[in-house]
Chains A and B, each alone.
Chain A
Amino acid sequence: MITLLNYTLAFAAILMLVALGGCVSEHSGVINLGLEGIMVIGALGGALVMKLMPTVGGFGLFFLVLLAAVFFGMIYSTLLAFACINLKADQTIVGTALNMLGTALATVFVKSMNLKESAGNNTSSVIKYENKKAFFTNIGNFELNWFMIVALVMLIVVFVLLYKTKFGLRLRACGEHPQAAASVGISVFKMRWAGVLLSGLLGGLGGITYITTGVSEWKFEEGVFGFGFLSLAVMIFGAWDPIRIGGAAILFGFFRAIGRVYPGIAFLRNLNIPPAVYNMLPYIVCLIVLAFTSKKSRAPKAEGIPYDKGMR
């Protein structure tokens, strides 16, 4: 049971971080479909730090890894911001391209790095389980991953940012009614850039969380198993509200965790259901949930529409 809780919270942390990223971006008016790619690149940043600085241990390493993931995620998200905000490119195509590009770029990079180190090492994984131990604290049987705390902190930060600050008020105005925002002197372009960059930050954090908690060994070729898109579903189910997103993430994380730990639960094991069904579970739940919640959507009204100054 404690493993179920452990995995639920681990997956929830990933989904929460990335969904918050999607949420901030959409509140500014840009649909970020490239979160999968951002996660991969963010994870790459963090993984490189772990690989290149094995001597830095403990909290210092944790901090550096965080910083690298955030930095990589943000840099990568500028590709989306530039294309969709400045050039008014189709947000769906660009997002899709970023997802493919993220995986391809990371794979090419990591593989060649591994090849350089030792000829014939044609794998696309960087870190081993031992590296990750640095980020765990055991509380009894419960493995507390530090990133769970990061996710919780970010949840509060995003909530405060969106609803308690001047920045958040302006950001949300740009996603709801950019013409109204512009009419009181707010630069819609700048706010949307900020929204996308923040989603890059959170997506990068989600990525590094994914590779340190979600999987035992990770190959860059595999991407993040649709976690970016699951996060978007979490965001929709969470009605673009940080607190509700937190709840939705735990629900989806639970279904994902069942797929991971069911062999350890006698009742589920005895049902004799093929493992693939458990793997499908979060996606099926997601579809059903969306079917019932999409009709009356609370999506920011202007999301996905490039802002044009001439339009009034």
Chain B
Amino acid sequence: MNKKRSLLERDGVLTIITSVLCVILGLLVGFLAVLIINPQGAFGAITGVVENFFAYSSSRLRIYNFGSTLAKTAPLIMCSLSVLFAYKVGLFNIGAAGQYALGAGAAIYSAYCLQLPWYVCLLLGILVGGISGALGGILKAFCNVNVVISGIMLNWISLYGVNVLLKPAMDPSGKDTFRLLKKAKDSVLPNIGLDKLFENNKYVGLAIPLAIVMAVIIWIILDKTKLGYELKATGNNPNAAKYCGMKENRNIIMTMFVAGALASMGGAMFYLTDVEQWNVNASAVPGMGFNGIAAAFLGGLNPIGCIFSSYFITHITVGGLNVDLKIYSAQVSDFITAVIIYFCGFVLFFKSVIIGNVKRRTERKVKALAEAEAKKGGTKA
């Protein structure tokens, strides 16, 4: 008996392969799309997307923009962790977008209107999203409302709610809220010296290590703790969880609270770094939450994997600005991201195809070996 399993049969390896496959397919479809729109610039467009800051000629600019990309990655990591955490318990947190908006709103409000220190702003942001998530959980546990539908409804309610909340924080010269760096300096997340590493990019700061730490914490919770053990059991087999006395409703509500808190922490930390300001007339739910879905699945539903997949998605989203805006639009990267999620839906199918191939090959080998054995035996006899 051959006990050693082929490399391809290991789940981790398989996950990475399928994720890379999804990325390649996504880029390929994206390339085809730009090719159809305008064949001349197509190659340049797609390389522009993939290159992002590498496209800059000066190394200073490259490093500075690398920093900006990282700053935008941090909230996406949080959103993907949110989606991942809920999914491990069998819930689809499409409400991450609204929770993200709530986190942003609460943080900006407590920063500009209340002038609170950054850590209080961050905490309030986390709390608001957590409550919103828990509301979805309660509706699911006690009223059997599908979390996807309630999540979407809460997304819109949150968006309009935040718009109302932030009206007083609007800079009259535009549609956005005031720049916190100017109006509420104490509320901006500290740089902890990281800005120096990225050519004084003042948007690089605490958010990035914080997001990575959160990914590690989520990984630890899911992998190392009693809580994670219970939650995953509930997600994998609710009947078995019930059989051994776990409390399903409590687990659902708690999971949604944590998921909501994670997404809103992303919103809070992003706006507290002041990279962007909130558009008070925003009429679309922030895409960050939806990209979180993409990042979570592309990351193979592994918290550490989410760090990389979030980076990749941010990388191509920022890279989208590199396309020749006279011919194409920056949404080419949104398009690629969407295609990637679509293919992520096939992950199980891809995996079974790969495993099936490996098995067939091993079987053939075993059969050949057996036949060879038999021949040898035959000659002996």
Contacts and interface: CB of A to CB of B under 8 A. Distances in A.
Note whether A and B contact each other (Cβ less than 8 A): yes
A242 B83 CA distance: 34
A111 B331 contact: yes
Interface string B35-70: 001100000000000000000000000000000000
A233 B344 contact: no
Nearest to B151: A229
A278 B287 CA distance: 23
A287 B342 contact: no
Given A229-B149, A290-B150, A96 B290 contact: yes
Given A111-B329, A115-B327, A276-B160, A290 B149 contact: yes
A186 interface: no
B225 interface: no
Interface in A286-304: 286-287, 290-292, 294-295, 297
Interface string B155-183: 11100110110010000000000000000
Contacts of A292: 143
A292 B145 CA distance: 9
A105 B335 contact: yes
Most chain A CB inside 10 Å of its own CB: which residue of B153, B294, B325: B153
A292 B285 CA distance: 26
A152 to B, nearest CB: 26
A96 B341 contact: yes
Given A89-B346, A93-B344, A290 B139 contact: yes
B329 A87 contact: no
Interface string A99-130: 11101110111011001100110101000000
Contacts of B284: 221-223, 225
A287 B153 contact: yes
Interface in A140-190: none
A54 B160 CA distance: 37
Contacts of B221: none
A103 B156 CA distance: 17
Contacts of A287: 139, 145, 150, 153-154, 157
Interface residues of A, number: 54
Interface string B326-357: 11110110110111011011101100000000
Contacts of B143: 290-292, 294-295
B49 to A, nearest CB: 12
Interface in A261-301: 274, 276-277, 279-280, 283-284, 286-287, 290-292, 294-295, 297
Interface in B255-309: 283-285, 287, 290, 293-294, 297
Contacts, number: 156
A92 B92 contact: yes
Contact of A100 (B152, B155, B341): B341
Interface string B201-221: 000000000000000000000
B152 A226 contact: yes
Interface residues of B, number: 51
A226 B148 CA distance: 12
A294 B328 contact: no
Most chain B CB inside 10 Å of its own CB: which residue of A101, A104, A286: A104
Most chain B CB inside 10 Å of its own CB: which residue of A111, A122, A124: A111
B94 interface: yes
B326 A119 contact: yes
B339 to A, nearest CB: 6
B335 A104 contact: yes
Contacts of A233: 149, 153
B200 interface: no
A239 B335 CA distance: 35
A222 B37 contact: no
Interface in A80-95: 83, 87-90, 92-94
Contacts of B157: 280, 283-284, 287
Nearest to A291: B143
30 contacts: A83-B345, A83-B346, A89-B346, A89-B348, A90-B345, A96-B92, A97-B339, A97-B341, A97-B345, A100-B290, A100-B337, A103-B334, A104-B331, A104-B337, A104-B338, A105-B338, A108-B334, A108-B335, A112-B37, A115-B329, A119-B326, A233-B153, A274-B167, A276-B164, A279-B156, A280-B160, A280-B161, A290-B146, A291-B139, A291-B145
Interface of A: 33, 79, 83, 87-90, 92-94, 96-101, 103-105, 107-109, 111-112, 115-116, 119-120, 122, 124, 221-223, 225-226, 229, 232-233, 236, 274, 276-277, 279-280, 283-284, 286-287, 290-292, 294-295, 297
Interface of B: 33, 37-38, 92, 94, 139, 143-146, 148-150, 152-157, 160-161, 163-164, 167, 283-285, 287, 290, 293-294, 297, 325-329, 331-332, 334-335, 337-339, 341-342, 344-346, 348-349
